[in-house]
Structure 1
Amino acid sequence: MRIHIKKLKIGDVLKTDIFNRQGLHVLAKKTKIRLEDIALLNKHNIKFVDVEGSVEERIAREVFNGTERPLRVKHNYDESIREYQAFFLEAVISGEFDQSKVKWTLMPLLEQLDEQKDVLTLLFSFQKEDETIYNHSLQVGLLSYYIAAWLGYPKSERLEISKAGYLHDIGKSRVPLSIRNRVGQLNDEEEKVLQKHTAAGYQIIRKSLNNDTTALVALQHHEREDGTGYPFGLQKDKIHPYAQIVAVANEFISKTFTPAEQPRRNFSIVLQEIYELGFGKLNEKPVQALIHNLLPNMIGKKVQLSNGHIGEIVLNNPMDFFRPLVKVKEVFIDLSKERNLNIREIIV
């Protein structure tokens, strides 16, 4: 399996010998990867390597420490994406979809979320470099479930909020393919066409589910509390609480998505951007719930610093959320004091 070196795990085994561009032998076949090996590969500007094992085996090791649950989660995740694609295409053709499929495909996955506490690893393990609207929508649905749980919603409401997150972009089925799949900046006219997906989603969901709240989330997930969002420029007290949650999940998933062959965005910067949006753009309650519940997940994570060194987060800084204590080999680096350094990315 060919992967980017920034997705290597300690203990991964190289499938082939590794040479740099000058033909110098860097690492041998069957090498069991250590932190120093990742740093060496980076030093030689080697971006991709072949490792032994399948995607499923990696997820088993990363997410659930070798238990049988990850394969079941992976199956349900992939099944949910396939079913989303099916009813998305139904909506393209007819403007509605079979409501029974939504609950049937999403429920098995949601039932397993309560078992998984490491949200970062779960989300990043299932991210796809060739992300589609289907994968994005499912990720937003999953994260919306977690945020609702952190805010204290009962399980019945968490399921409804997750479903609303899952369906928030269904209106894009009515947006021309040339705009929907565009890579790069849209012009003003194209942006206006894309923005119509919120109203289209409202109509599709009402027609398919006859559920006004879920439809309202599709309509409002791009509204912003200062009135700068769309389609109506609503302010804080006019935006449904479910839509406020899904808006935060949507922003986070969008900002952490990494296109193929590009390094992940600086995770600390993503968190800071979300945090800052909580002052006037996004509702502060789901923003704070996201930040305060993701930060504990960072302890123990391997990270690459802005100087290229790879270390491990050992302690969060309560006075500066985004600058924790990091151990690089035997050296402890307090990022709250070393202001010239920051976390470039989390290695998942």
Structure 2
Amino acid sequence: MRVHVMDLNIGDRLLVDTFNHYGLHLLSSGTRLRSEDISKLLMHQITYVDIAPKEELEPPKHDFYMLTEESFKELRILYDQAIKGTEELFEEAESTSKVNGQLVQAAFVPMAEYVREQRDVVDLLLELNHKDDYTYQHSIQTGILAHKLATWVGYAEEEALQIGVAGYLHDVGKCRIDQAILVKQGELTEEEQAELAKHTTYGYEIIRNSAYRYPISLVALQHHERIDGSGYPCQLRNSNIHAYTHIVMVADIYSGMISNRPSHIKRDLLTVLQYLYQLSFSKIDATIAHTFISRMIPNFIGKRVRLNNGEIGKIIMNNNTDFFRPLVQIEDRFVNFVSDRTYEIQEIMM
């Protein structure tokens, strides 16, 4: 069945090998299309492809590439359990000055294992970004993103999961911070900022006193450092920051900025990727940041967006000249955000 590339769906199966106009092989026969595959076809200006008729497609036993409603229900149950388990973990850490490894295994590891094969991280974040308690939600998100990013940069699964745990525990020191500071609306005073900054050393002490030690404790201490020495608490520079921390640093910033916090309004997922790109020139590890961006960008294709003029559109393809200003379909017209700068994306939607 020959279809236009614009009519392709995730999960469609190619019937024949696909080549670009120069003869470069793009995708093989039998490929189940993912969002990044459709993006590749668009970028190479492929117009039509042959796919298997819908009735010939075997229904997947469990589609990890695209979260179904059933998958969402299972994910929500796991996530609610993770939130409750994280709250219990923080409360116990405050009273015992230790991290309970069993709670980590029960609250975070099942979530990490469930989303390990989930390719569309954007769908995942949109679904998991609705809880009111920022600290617990942020801990889970940072752990999941750190785990994914660790695999993307080449870590084996066992070590990637350890990096995910480091991301999950990076803010455990906040259990010792006055709740009034954590939930305060608006800007903090200098004294409050200084007290909040202590969560890095508190987290280091708590993890060092637990079964989880180096380098997970070091990540808790260093996750607010920056490679130019402008971070805290030790003003470390690039080579003195642990490799795990560089990964958690990116996950921490991204999760923090896409979430509602008492002192900050959340930003849309694509805008924050652009912010990470800007930071990669002086504040965070460029290779890790660019890997994260390149793996996230294809997930935005097909997503609905709310624009600055109130219109609703759909991202059709990414622009090679500016990844952060895509081609968007608005009803029956197409708008190239690179050439038309009057449009801005206000929100990425399911």
| Secondary structure of the structure 2 residue equivalent to 1:182 | coil
Q: Which moved more, 1:127-136 or 1:197-206?
A: 127-136
Is contact 1:264–1:345 with CA below 8 Å preserved after alignment? no
1:264 Cα deviation from its structure 2 partner: 5.5
Is contact 1:171–1:198 with CA below 8 Å preserved after alignment? yes
Is contact 1:63–1:70 with CA below 8 Å preserved after alignment? no
TM-score (norm 1): 0.78
| Secondary structure of the structure 1 residue equivalent to 2:348 | strand
**CA distance in structure 2 between the aligned counterparts of 1:165 and 1:301, rounded to whole angstroms:** 27
1:21-170 matches, cutoff 5 A:
64-66=67-69, 68-170=70-172
Q: Which moved more, 1:320-329 or 1:177-186?
A: 177-186
1:250 to 225, 240, 252: 252
Q: State the match for 1:336 in structure 2.
A: 338
Residues 103 and 266 of structure 1, relative CA distance in 2, 3 Å threshold: closer
**CA distance in structure 2 between the aligned counterparts of 1:259 and 1:91, rounded to whole angstroms:** 22
**CA distance in structure 1 between the aligned counterparts of 2:261 and 2:191, rounded to whole angstroms:** 25
Write the deviation string for residues 36-64 of structure 1: whole angstroms up to 9, x where unpaired: xxxxxxxxxxxxxxxxxxxxxxxx9x962
**CA distance in structure 2 between the aligned counterparts of 1:268 and 1:176, rounded to whole angstroms:** 33
Residues 152 and 120 of structure 1, relative CA distance in 2, 3 Å threshold: same
**CA distance in structure 2 between the aligned counterparts of 1:204 and 1:169, rounded to whole angstroms:** 11
**CA distance in structure 2 between the aligned counterparts of 1:114 and 1:173, rounded to whole angstroms:** 28
1:204 to 180, 203, 206: 206
Write the deviation string for residues 216-275 of structure 1: whole angstroms up to 9, x where unpaired: 000000000000000000000000111111111111111111369x98524433221111
1:114 Cα deviation from its structure 2 partner: 2.4
Q: Which amino acid aligns with 2:215?
A: T
| Secondary structure of the structure 1 residue equivalent to 2:321 | coil
Q: Which moved more, 1:180-189 or 1:193-202?
A: 180-189
Q: Which amino acid aligns with 2:68?
A: N
1:176-255 matches, cutoff 5 A:
176-255=178-257
Is contact 2:138–2:255 with CA below 8 Å preserved after alignment? yes
**CA distance in structure 1 between the aligned counterparts of 2:236 and 2:107, rounded to whole angstroms:** 33
1:104 Cα deviation from its structure 2 partner: 2.9
| Secondary structure of the structure 1 residue equivalent to 2:215 | helix
**CA distance in structure 2 between the aligned counterparts of 1:210 and 1:273, rounded to whole angstroms:** 32
Q: Which amino acid aligns with 1:212?
A: Y
**CA distance in structure 1 between the aligned counterparts of 2:102 and 2:205, rounded to whole angstroms:** 18
**CA distance in structure 1 between the aligned counterparts of 2:261 and 2:127, rounded to whole angstroms:** 15
| Secondary structure of the structure 2 residue equivalent to 1:149 | helix
Write the deviation string for residues 186-236 of structure 1: whole angstroms up to 9, x where unpaired: 111111111111011011001112421100000000000000000000000
1:283 Cα deviation from its structure 2 partner: 0.9
Unaligned runs of 5+ in 2: 1-62
Q: CA RMSD in A?
A: 2.0
**CA distance in structure 1 between the aligned counterparts of 2:91 and 2:80, rounded to whole angstroms:** 17
Is contact 1:267–1:343 with CA below 8 Å preserved after alignment? no
Residues 229 and 259 of structure 1, relative CA distance in 2, 3 Å threshold: closer
**CA distance in structure 1 between the aligned counterparts of 2:133 and 2:216, rounded to whole angstroms:** 24
Q: Which amino acid aligns with 1:114?
A: R
**CA distance in structure 1 between the aligned counterparts of 2:265 and 2:193, rounded to whole angstroms:** 27
1:79 Cα deviation from its structure 2 partner: 1.3
Aligned length: 286
**CA distance in structure 2 between the aligned counterparts of 1:80 and 1:266, rounded to whole angstroms:** 24
Q: State the match for 1:287 in structure 2.
A: 289
1:123 Cα deviation from its structure 2 partner: 1.1
Q: Which amino acid aligns with 2:84?
A: R
**CA distance in structure 2 between the aligned counterparts of 1:263 and 1:89, rounded to whole angstroms:** 27
**CA distance in structure 1 between the aligned counterparts of 2:181 and 2:306, rounded to whole angstroms:** 35
Write the deviation string for residues 151-185 of structure 1: whole angstroms up to 9, x where unpaired: 11110111001000000000011112222222221
Unaligned runs of 5+ in 1: 1-59
Is contact 2:93–2:206 with CA below 8 Å preserved after alignment? yes
Overall identity of the aligned pairs, in %: 39
Write the deviation string for residues 307-338 of structure 1: whole angstroms up to 9, x where unpaired: 22111111100111111111111101111110
Q: State the match for 1:6 in structure 2.
A: none
Q: Which amino acid aligns with 2:206?
A: I
